[in-house]
Structure 1
Amino acid sequence: MSIWGEIKSSFRLGSNLTRLIYINLGVFLLFGLLRVFLFLSASSSGWITGFMAVPANLQSLMVRPWTIVTYMFYHEDFLHILFNLLWLYWFGQLFLQFFAQRQLTWVYLLGGISGALLYILAFNLLPPFKGYAEVSLALGASASVLAVVIAVATLQPNFTVYLLFLGAVRLKYLALATVVIDIISIPVSNAGGHIAHLGGALFGFIYVVALRRGTDLAKPFYSISSIRFPKRNRMKVTYRSHNADYDYNYRKAQKQKQIDDILDKIARSGYDSLTKEEKDILFKANNRNIN
């Protein structure tokens, strides 16, 4: 299989975490190469950021409403996307131990939108930013990633992770430190970025609080998403092989639904509410599907 074929197969058959990482990388490479082409042809590339990043100016936002989504997949600097995707990978894997695949997708998207909305509101309503809304743009996946991080930390505050130089740290302290750093950094530099981070973090917290009360804030969006079970549209040589492929995909879908139901139960009532059979199913699934 070619490299491109492997990438397509990994995207189609991988987890939602894999897809989110691939989309961010794909957008970064696409516009990075486009900038090189424009530079070599002596053309301006400034319009790219204006096309993808979300503006604080309300009139500009009305002209480019798609940017409230595209900004969370768009990065200009290598280090920016590197650190965002490392956090997304680490905490995305942790997120999927307690939540369903579709929840990761929508916490990422809705967390990013929440971050954009708080950023836009702050730059249009707060006195320190008066006049800056006309020229300010926000970009990057940080708000979306913080939504994922804070959601996991809110659900499992005492879960321990091991950090380089720091050793064992509970998620609640890591989440608190991240939020505090963003708050105290607002007057120092990149105020719009830090405010967007806080918007994403706020959504992650509210999402889990609501989930514990029986309300999944992302549920209205599940019906419009088909990301969980990609269909394979390959032509089969014989009728028998077509049926075998159909049966395999059906069993796989049913198994994934069973796992998602168990993860939903954990989010609502905690791990201890599971039966022994449900714990066995989850244990076997985690040992087979390491992303």
Structure 2
Amino acid sequence: MSFANDIRAAFSRRDNALSQLLLINVLVFVVLLLVRVTLFLVTGGAVSLVSVLEWLAVPSGPMTLLTRPWTLLTYSFAHTDFFHILFNLLNLYWFGSLVREYLGDRKLVSLYVLGALAGAALYLLAYNFIPVFAGRPAILYGASASVTAIIVGAATLLPDYTFNIILLGPIRIKYIAAVVVLVSIAGIDGGNPGGEIAHLGGAMLGFLFIRQLQRGRDLGRPVQAVGDWVGRLLSGPQLRVTHRGGAAATAAPAARKGSLPKPEQEDIDAILDKISRSGYESLSKEEKQKLFKASQK
């Protein structure tokens, strides 16, 4: 099977959001790498990658942003440095796996997209209203805001879940998230203030997203609605089949509805609270099944 077929297979599955997010980041990185080398060979360095990257990255100027609104999302998939994308993808995989396991693919994508938007929003506010940054041209790119949203979201959902870190041993992810936030705060007066501010925007979104979800409000519904619309647009018109005859036509839907009842939101909130207190392994088999069914919504 060729690389193209592998990529097509990865994106054909609806339950493969984490792999798809990782793959998009890698593909964009490879394309930018090839563009950078090509520009060097053709122009001898007279035209740099920045001229291309500006069409993917969020500009600090509002008027420029109005001509490039798509950058509010595309920036979160653009990397030019190997270690930058490496650390982002590792964290996306580790913490994204947790979010996907407990909340499902749709919530993971919502958290990634909303984290990117929140990071961009805080970055724009800082660079246009805080005097030390105002008037300083800059661009924002990288998945760090989205990844930070996922890190903090996972830590808010499962604060006592532990990762075994080399040389350090088991560490609860709430402390890992706290270190990530503190490092971002400390880096604001360094060489990448815009990026660190965007991290904080993602962190705030991650915390708010899970807290609202635990209260029964899904902030990701608009993202999911847009995703469903795009999916229908790409899949083309669907063939609708109608059945005639009373008993045969109505019995099957009723049976399907009765065989896999969706758990109530109150039950899910109670299960999430139990995970936060005691961890996933404390759940009963029935509670795990309810959580899984809820993640398929």
Q: Per the shorter chain, which TM-score range? A: 0.7 to 0.9
| AA in 2 matched with 1:172 | K
| AA in 1 matched with 2:11 | F
5+ long unaligned stretches in structure 2: 236-255, 276-282, 293-297
Taking every aligned residue pair, what percent have the same amino acid on both sides? 40
| AA in 1 matched with 2:204 | L
Give SS of 2:150's match: helix
How far did residue 160 of structure 1 move? 1.2
Contact residue 72 and residue 140 of structure 1 kept, 8 A: yes
1:247-275 deviation line (CA, Å, top 9, x unaligned)? xxxxxxx9xxx79x669777632255977
Contact residue 99 and residue 264 of structure 1 kept, 8 A: no
Alignment of 1:118-267 (within 5 A): 118-132=122-136, 135-226=137-228
Contact residue 262 and residue 278 of structure 1 kept, 8 A: no
- State the match for 2:99 in structure 1: 95
2:82 maps to 1:81: no
Give SS of 2:189's match: coil
Q: How many residues align?
A: 259
- Gap change, CA 1:174 and 1:63, over 3 Å in 2: same
Contact residue 143 and residue 197 of structure 1 kept, 8 A: yes
Alignment of 1:53-92 (within 5 A): 53-92=57-96
2:288 maps to 1:279: yes
How far did residue 15 of structure 1 move? 1.0
CA RMSD of aligned residues (A): 3.0
Give SS of 2:88's match: helix
Distance 1:277 1:162 in 2: 28
Distance 2:179 2:116 in 1: 20
Contact residue 102 and residue 291 of structure 2 kept, 8 A: no
- Gap change, CA 1:182 and 1:6, over 3 Å in 2: same
Q: Which of these two proteins has the greater Rg computed from alpha carbons?
A: 2
5+ long unaligned stretches in structure 1: 234-253, 284-291
- Gap change, CA 1:48 and 1:277, over 3 Å in 2: same
2:8 maps to 1:8: yes
Distance 1:171 1:230 in 2: 37
What is the TM-score normalised by the length of structure 1?
0.80
Alignment of 1:40-59 (within 5 A): 40-42=41-43, 44=47, 45-59=49-63
- Gap change, CA 1:228 and 1:121, over 3 Å in 2: closer
| AA in 1 matched with 2:84 | H
| AA in 1 matched with 2:12 | R
| AA in 2 matched with 1:128 | V
1:111 to 106, 115, 132: 115
- State the match for 1:250 in structure 2: none
- State the match for 1:26 in structure 2: 27
Contact residue 102 and residue 227 of structure 1 kept, 8 A: no
- Gap change, CA 1:57 and 1:228, over 3 Å in 2: closer
| AA in 2 matched with 1:279 | K
1:268-290 deviation line (CA, Å, top 9, x unaligned)? 3225597743525778xxxxxxx
- Gap change, CA 1:52 and 1:114, over 3 Å in 2: same
Distance 1:25 1:31 in 2: 10
Contact residue 53 and residue 74 of structure 1 kept, 8 A: yes
1:15-44 deviation line (CA, Å, top 9, x unaligned)? 100000111111111122122222211162
- Gap change, CA 1:232 and 1:75, over 3 Å in 2: closer
Distance 1:275 1:227 in 2: 36
How far did residue 116 of structure 1 move? 0.5
- State the match for 2:37 in structure 1: 36
Contact residue 17 and residue 93 of structure 1 kept, 8 A: yes
Distance 1:140 1:88 in 2: 12
Give SS of 1:189's match: coil
Contact residue 53 and residue 137 of structure 1 kept, 8 A: yes
